[in-house]
Amino acid sequence: MVAALVLLSLLCVWSLVAKRLARWSITAPIAFAAAGVVLTGGDRPALALGMETHTFQTGVELVLAVMLFTDATEARGYERLGKTVGEGRLLALALPGSVALAVLFGALLFPGTNWWLLAVAALVVMPMDLAPVLMFLRDERLPLRVRAALNIEGGFNDGLISPFFVFCVANLLTVEGETFGDLVLNAAEGAAYAVLAGATVGVLAGRLMPWCLRAGWASASELRLAGLALPFLAYAGSVQLGGNGFVAAFVAGLCYAHVARTLGHDNLDLVYDIGHLMALAVWFTFGALIAEEFAHGVDLKVIAYALLALTVARMLPVCAALTGTRFSWAERGAVGWLGSRGVTSIVFAVLAYSQLPYDDAAFVVKVTCATVLLSVLLHGVTLEPLARWFARRPRADGPRAAAPERSEP
């Protein structure tokens, strides 16, 4: 109850001064992370978070389920470009390549570390999230196809990575008698149940909600409440069947996306707002993790790993994957560099923290905290110079137009 009171108070205070703080580049993620450090740090913290509890873990899982659902349902609005913006290459080629490089760098920097643990760390730090550089989506100085590629990639990469993250964590927690084949079979079975549960929720909602609206059985406001329930229904239904709740929420969003747009642009506003609120709680938790893990300093190897994850492991596969497309070298570099890290990595890290043994969990959390912190700093500092540089160059992607706003923080 105390934690809820503190978070709600922070939300209220920040909402009252948000516009003023924005002039100093103090965003909601920065404010809530700073509050987490101040209120939970030290030998006698003002607020203690029980991150090892089952309730806390369930709450974090629900945050990720809502995030996956909203990412899948978000209207992209890039039809004006007329063609794809390399999203298939980014997701099918660059993302696996980035994860593989992150595993390799982890093995070089931390010799002797379990390969499954290195894989978990790579899957946590490599998914991009636009929270630290959210303002760039509305910056018309940056090429539209750069913003479109990152927006689409950011919406789908966490959904693609989540089942592999769960599988690698399961390998670290293998009980006696379980073989690798058993884990693969369990993962495949869980994915099948997840697709079944998610598709059932998404398709049924897509058929029933428009019919109820046309028949006068429900109004738009009631349908917004129904939309809010969908990610939770998909997650809970999949878990009851023994499936992956994250995959189910993502599949439900994919199935419901088209119908959501036909019901009106505000049909999912409520679930977006709730997702935004839940994400702020995640940033507060991130501050608590920083206060705990970095209380006695930071290993330089952790910093080196974070820098490699943000630069070489991200940029090299992206530039290679976009070779042969309409992207110029400058645009490929921008897509690679602007792959910021945020809420997605934090949520995965918290899940690892609550499930893995202490030493393994500490390793994953340390590299995640370092990566996200450096991302907030480096991407925030370089975004404006990068935008000015592109503004001086001739445009090759047609008239300047603002990208659709994302609702995630």
Question: Using one digit for the tens of pLDDT, what is the confidence trace for 281-290?
Answer: 888 888 888 8
Given 3.40.50.1220, 3.30.365.10, 1.20.1530.20, 1.10.10.10, which CATH number is that of 58-391? 1.20.1530.20
Contact by Cβ (8 Å): 172, 114: yes
- Res 236: pLDDT: 93
Return the higher-pLDDT residue of 152 and 333: 333
- Res 401: pLDDT: 47
At 75, the pLDDT band (50, 70, 90 cuts) reads: very low
At 132, the pLDDT band (50, 70, 90 cuts) reads: low
Which residue in this structure is represented by tokens 């609550």?
Answer: 354
State the average pLDDT over residues 153-168: 85
State the average pLDDT over residues 129-135: 71
- Res 144: pLDDT: 83
At 99, the pLDDT band (50, 70, 90 cuts) reads: very high
Q: What is the mean pLDDT of the chain?
A: 83
